[in-house]
């Protein structure tokens, strides 16, 4: 077989280079950047790991990027050997993986409260950061589980709103479920009601007298509406004295004008 001429060799080299560049350009166009403020609105704190993880999981699965955090999509080699050559060439898939992983790591950092960023600031890839957060906040320690169980044993609303009270309880339920320690809500619902103040006594009695179990969502809805009704009545009662004073003032003013008019009429007749 005749050897390739210099021009043929140059042409082949040019085609090969163009092919690699085209592939790299095509792969780069598939990079996915996550808008943290819009797509991950719930920042990770020391107490909401389960909720934060749920929103991030759905995003990663939806974009088919979960392999970057669970290790099922490892970093490919930086160089490859083409079938028709023994020369190592840059691997465009490696470049795509590195760029995509950095975008995910950036999104992960952006979804944390500022005080938590140092925990993963030194991590080089997303999977390392993800595993660190998982180990830190999802560790199934016996002490942590017992702490949450005690918290749910005697919940107290105190000065918190119903939303804050129920969100705190839901956070505990979610974490225990994540640890394979599901909570019996039939029993918990009674403890939730017992943790309310006397202003909810009537509603609490009605709920406990039900023949069918109540769900968390239904209980939250009823308590929220009761709180709104109480707030409305309180606001109305506070506004009532001002209304009464205004009415009395107008009535007194009308009486005064009426008396003055009558006096002038009487004097005129005289």
Of 227, 80, 84, 79, nearest to 163 by C-alpha is 227
pTM higher than 0.85 for the full model?
no
Query: What's the token pair of residue 253?
Result: 């003013």
Q: Could you tell me the residue ranges of all domains in the chain? A: 32-137, 142-229
The residue ranges of the chain whose pLDDT is under 70 are 1-29, 140, 239-270
Distance of alpha carbon 201 from alpha carbon 198, whole angstroms: 5
The string over 164-191, giving b where at least 16 C-beta atoms fall within 10 Å of a residue's C-beta and e elsewhere, is ebbebbbbbbbbbeebeeebebeebbee
Tens-digit pLDDT profile for residues 31-66: 999 999 999 999 999 888 888 999 999 999 999 999
Q: Report in angstroms the alpha-carbon separations of 103 from 32, 40, 99, 179.
A: 8, 14, 6, 30
Question: What pLDDT shows up at residue 2?
Answer: 37
The answer to whether the Cα torsion of 157, 158, 162, 166 is positive or negative is negative
CA 127 and chain centroid, separation: 21
């Amino acid at each position: 077989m005749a050897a390739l001429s210099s021009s043929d060799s140059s042409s082949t080299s040019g085609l090969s280079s163009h092919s690699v560049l085209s592939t790299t350009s095509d792969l780069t166009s598939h990079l996915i950047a996550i808008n943290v403020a819009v797509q991950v609105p719930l920042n990770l704190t020391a107490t909401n790991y389960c909720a934060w993880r749920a929103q991030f999981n759905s995003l990663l699965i939806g974009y088919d990027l979960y392999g970057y955090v669970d290790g099922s999509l490892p970093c490919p080699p930086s160089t490859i050997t083409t079938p028709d050559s023994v020369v190592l060439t840059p691997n465009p898939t490696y470049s795509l993986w590195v760029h995509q992983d950095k975008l995910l790591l950036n999104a992960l950092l952006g979804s944390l409260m500022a005080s938590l960023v140092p925990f993963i600031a030194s991590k080089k890839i997303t999977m390392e950061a993800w595993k660190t957060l998982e180990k830190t906040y999802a560790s199934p320690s016996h002490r942590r589980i017992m702490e949450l169980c005690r918290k749910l044993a005697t919940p107290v609303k105190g000065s918190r709103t119903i939303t804050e009270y129920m969100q705190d309880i839901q956070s505990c339920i979610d974490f225990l479920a994540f640890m394979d320690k599901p909570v019996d809500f039939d029993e918990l619902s009674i403890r939730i009601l017992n943790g309310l103040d006397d202003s909810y006594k009537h509603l609490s009695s009605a709920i406990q007298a039900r023949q069918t179990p109540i769900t968390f969502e239904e209980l939250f809805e009823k308590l929220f509406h009761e709180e709104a009704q109480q707030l409305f009545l309180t606001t109305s009662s506070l506004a009532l004295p001002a209304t009464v004073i205004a009415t009395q003032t107008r009535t007194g003013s009308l009486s005064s004008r009426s008396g003055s008019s009558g006096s002038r009429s009487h004097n005129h007749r005289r």
